[in-house]
Structure 1
Amino acid sequence: MIRRLMLTTAVLALAACGAPDPETTPAPAPDPAPTPAPTPAANVLTAQGFGPLRIGMTRAEVEAALGPDANPDAVGGPDPEACDTFHPVRAPEGLTVMVEQGVLTSIWLQNGSTLKTDRGFGVGDTATAIKAAYGPLAYVSPHKYAAAPAEYITTWSVGGAAGYVQDPSARGIAYHIGTDGRAEHVAAGGPSIQYVEGCA
């Protein structure tokens, strides 16, 4: 009995020798902090907006972000309360906004703009390069007033599909291609990117 007790004590002592010291046991590594979502570059046009502008803002919010109409005497649409296009005072050259019923529905790049979309395209880029980059996501339709190679290339990142899209929650980018096969205008935002005559 005494021998068995001594043997048990020896086994327990040996087991205790192999156990880590509770004070030196490393604490479990903390969970890594979540990676923050990437912030869109301020000088890149996306289907959701540009810089401080976000599709769906009120006109007052647009003006707070980039200033009022740089040319308030210009006609932005036949009924400015229903639809108006204008260049905000602090906006980059060649950028205009379209506000319908007091809400920002699209952002347009015109002649003189050096801005690019999140795919790296802007005014002056070729339809061939744009279609190659978007692949099957690009919907191509004939130009309303000019012969081919003039056309419209539209891609939707939220909602949308082939044909005319009316869902106000859809978001996309449209490249309006001229007779030289290059983008004359680039529009980003909701269904108004499909307009071919501005607010008219």
Structure 2
Amino acid sequence: MRRSLLLIAAAALPLAACGQEPAAPAAEPAATPPPAAETPAPVQDGALTAEGYGPLRIGMTRAEVEQALGPDADPDSVGGPDPESCDIFRPERAPENMMVMVEQGVLTSIWLDPGSEVNTDRGFGPGDGAAAVKAAYGDAAQASPHKYSEPPAEYVTVWARGGGADYVQDANARGISYHIGTDGNVEHVAAGGPSIQYVEGCA
């Protein structure tokens, strides 16, 4: 009798188990989505540096410049006496009053003209005072006389790499030059290689 009761009890266990809610399967860990591709910051949000601006990098080919910001916005204008050798133009999608200089098919400098709202990585642009520029850079700022105008017109140049006291010809040098007008304020800013020392367009 005792054996029969044990058998009955044992037989009831699976039935009781069948009456329970089945345990929910363990949730599989959610697959980690692949990292989103980085979206470059809009060109207007960038700062001009000795190495470039937004998607532009000194040393790019003209084709790469045009791929990044579009072709010449005003192809009928002459950017230099020999455009094949040196050309200055504003790419279609570049900010207003920003120009690029391409020499022998390579981007050598980027220029900010009066009215530009773009600033350098130190926060300076056309219209800012030379005194503030010099104070910000300290001993790194090299002042030289303006080619055509009397002081306070001058050139204030800061080399990030390469450079020196004399005229720089090293294509690997990078810097920023502030062209100061007769009112003591920045008229133009040039950033890039040795062509930042030019004072007459492509010369």
TM range (shorter): 0.7 to 0.9
How far, CA to CA, are the matches of 2:96 and 2:115 in structure 1?
6
Within-5 A mapping of 1:112-151: 112-151=115-154
Residues 169-194 of structure 1 deviation map (CA, whole Å, 9 limit, x = unaligned): 00000000000000000000000000
Q: Report the 3-state secondary structure (helix = DSSP H, G, I; strand = E; otherwise coil) of the residue aligned with 1:92.
A: coil
Within-5 A mapping of 1:34-183: 42-183=45-186
Q: What TM-score, normalized to structure 2?
A: 0.78
Could you tell me how far 1:159 is from its partner in structure 2? 0.5
**Match among 181, 184, 192 for residue 187 of structure 2:** 184
Amino acid at match of 1:60: A
**Over alpha carbons, which structure has the higher Rg?**
2
Partner of 1:195: 198
Could you tell me how far 1:51 is from its partner in structure 2? 0.1
How far, CA to CA, are the matches of 2:198 and 2:101 in structure 1?
11
Amino acid at match of 1:173: I
Q: Report the 3-state secondary structure (helix = DSSP H, G, I; strand = E; otherwise coil) of the residue aligned with 1:76.
A: coil
Structure 2: 5+ residue stretches without partners: 1-39
Q: Report the 3-state secondary structure (helix = DSSP H, G, I; strand = E; otherwise coil) of the residue aligned with 1:172.
A: strand
Partner of 1:7: none
Amino acid at match of 1:77: G
How far, CA to CA, are the matches of 2:169 and 2:66 in structure 1?
26
Q: Give the percent of matched residue pairs that are identical in Structure 1 and Structure 2.
A: 72
After superposing on structure 2, the runs of 4+ consecutive aligned residues of structure 1 that deviate more than 6 Å are none
Q: Report the 3-state secondary structure (helix = DSSP H, G, I; strand = E; otherwise coil) of the residue aligned with 1:136.
A: helix
Could you tell me how far 1:111 is from its partner in structure 2? 1.5
